[in-house]
């Protein structure tokens, strides 16, 4: 039910990663995928942070493709994140590549949470409602 994840991508993720419940924290799963940030540094030199790519390449590629598919769909939180990321310069290919990587990492965190909790995926749209209040605040006020 996660946007961008079809039956083939789901099977590939489960086949490559195994039981995701063995990772107590989503950062461990990101490291297994090779999507954690790594910085090359020596002495006073500190390079740029990049993804490490020390993990499973097939899993990373599957998450990348699923992220691209999710961004192409109409409305979901993955597309929202992508649009916010590239808002500065929509035509910068380097920025778009970084945005796709951020979406793939978000997808990995979401998949880990869905499988670990056992609950179905619930879409979460980030942002403020037009009235400036979140629906949760209205629900609390209705209870009072």
44-94 pLDDT, tens digit per residue, is 999 999 999 999 999 999 999 999 999 999 889 999 999 999 999 999 999
pLDDT over 90 percentage in the chain: 78
Radius of gyration of the chain, Cα coordinates, nearest whole angstrom: 17
pLDDT at 125: 61
pLDDT at 131: 54
Could you tell me which of 30, 81, 80, 29 has the C-alpha nearest to residue 51? 30
Sequence-distant (6+) residues with CB within 8 A of 128 are: 134
Assess contact for 121 and 112: CB atoms under 8 A.
Answer: no
Assess contact for 17 and 56: CB atoms under 8 A.
Answer: yes
Instruction: With a cut of 70, say whether residue 21 has pLDDT above it.
Output: yes
What's the whole-number mean pLDDT along residues 27-41? Answer: 94
pLDDT at 139: 47
Whole-angstrom distance, CA of residue 116 vs CA of residue 20: 7
């Amino acid at each position: 039910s996660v946007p961008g994840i079809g039956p083939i991508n789901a099977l590939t993720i489960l086949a490559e990663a195994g039981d995701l419940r063995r990772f107590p924290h989503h950062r461990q799963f990101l490291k297994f995928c090779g999507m954690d940030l790594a910085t090359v540094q020596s002495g006073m030199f500190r390079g740029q942070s990049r993804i490490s790519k020390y993990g499973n390449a097939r899993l990373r590629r599957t998450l990348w493709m699923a992220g691209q598919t999710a961004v192409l769909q109409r409305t979901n939180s993955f597309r929202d994140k992508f649009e916010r990321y590239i808002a500065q310069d929509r035509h910068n290919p380097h920025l778009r590549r970084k945005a796709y990587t951020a979406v793939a990492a978000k997808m990995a965190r979401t998949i880990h949470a869905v499988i670990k909790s056992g609950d179905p995926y619930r879409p979460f749209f980030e942002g403020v409602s037009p009235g400036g209040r979140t629906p949760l605040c209205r629900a609390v006020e209705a209870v009072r």
